[in-house]
Structure 1
Amino acid sequence: MLEGLNDQFFMNFKRLQEEGNQLIIVHGGGPAINKELARNNVTSTTINGIRVTSKEAVGIVQSTLIGKVNPALVHELNKDGIVAVGLSGYDGQLLECTLLNEEIYGFVGEIQQVNTSLLDTFLQAGVTPVIACIGCTADGHALNINGDTVASEIALAMKADSLLLVTDTPGIKINDVVQEMVTQAEIDNWIETGDIFGGMIPKVQAAVECLQSGIPSVQIVGEKLVGTVIISQEVNA
């Protein structure tokens, strides 16, 4: 999605800020990572939308996200008049992590704590934090973390009013039709039937977890920053 961001995205982002919203961006970088892994002849698989990350692969993920993807996005934001700063889990102990399950996933992290005071400092100064989804162990070893998982954990820690999961489609598509509003029960059913699959699974799971934990509004959106609203239960007409 990062490579496809256009003027409309940045225009809508600025509009949200001008309406008084404080915004935090969390990003991954799948295509760029895949390219670098291939260039270095490192193979990688995914399980339930989570990239299995070997010791060799995590170094490539770290250097790609922090060294290439993050500064490129920060540059684009700054160029469009949005004051932004690039961060990762290393900066200011932003993300305190442990290994999710080394036997299954390798060097993939599970967030234990978010340094919300650091993010508050930037937001109060009118600066947009742009966070790469890299964490680290207590001894400083890099950990790859699914971008949607990082976004949901940060949203929960910050007690955000809204979480927007930005993807390359304008929402959840079922039979090629974007759904304006869906329920938890429908999501569970579509995962079982295979209508929701691959990278969309952690997106919808992150959305549901945030709803259950008290985030008032969760959406899966495209570049217009509007899309599918996910609600926790059926709405009676």
Structure 2
Amino acid sequence: MRLSEEEVKALETYRFSSEAADVSSSMLFAWLVHDDEQLAKYVAHVRDEMGAANDAVAASMLVKRLSFLAPMALYAMSAWNKRLVLEPGRIWLDTDGEGETWMPRFRLAPPEAEMCGIERSGWREQAVRDVFAGLFAPLIARLRRLTRISPLILWENVAIYVYWVYERWLEDESLAPVADRLRDDFRFLVHEADGRLFGQKDNPLRRFFKGASGMQRTTCCLYVQTKGGTCCQTCPLKARQRQTG
């Protein structure tokens, strides 16, 4: 089914776009996970746009920006009981570079979703698999080979957004009618989901979780190594500085 205008508006919070962009830097997600040459070019583009020190830093910034795809899909799943159709060949990354640090918008062609049927458990597993095993696992694997960056940094980039948005959603009074489902989905994602749903041996969301409001990172995202970049509030480097005075 097609997304409603109201749903499209809600997903714009997570950088969803329903309008085709007339920009030369648009990239199909499938090219990033199936074409090493295209991925290398896009990493170089991000490196130049953000003034990253090297390709590994650019890879981390790329995954941080693309991590908005996870909250976008999980919001649809938990708030509306809808599974966005997120095949790599349907997701366009559009950037215009105007007025902000490099940040893509996500255009689905076409924007469609599947309503949950009677049996939600298996449906939810598929929704999670589509996002993490279908999109992030192959991208992270290729970025690791291309830039030698630790996949732990890239997976924590994704995980930190998941923790953050569920905490915010549970504080949102407008989502109070679905609060129980939000809690159940978050518990499943972090504590119950099998690593295979993430294309991994172990669940990466479980690995980095430090409890309620525990946003302190284990790894540095490397933003400090970009032009004008600083240590994030959750950076382990900043935490060490506080400890050492």
Q: Normalized against structure 1, the TM-score is what? A: 0.29
Q: Normalized against structure 2, the TM-score is what? A: 0.28
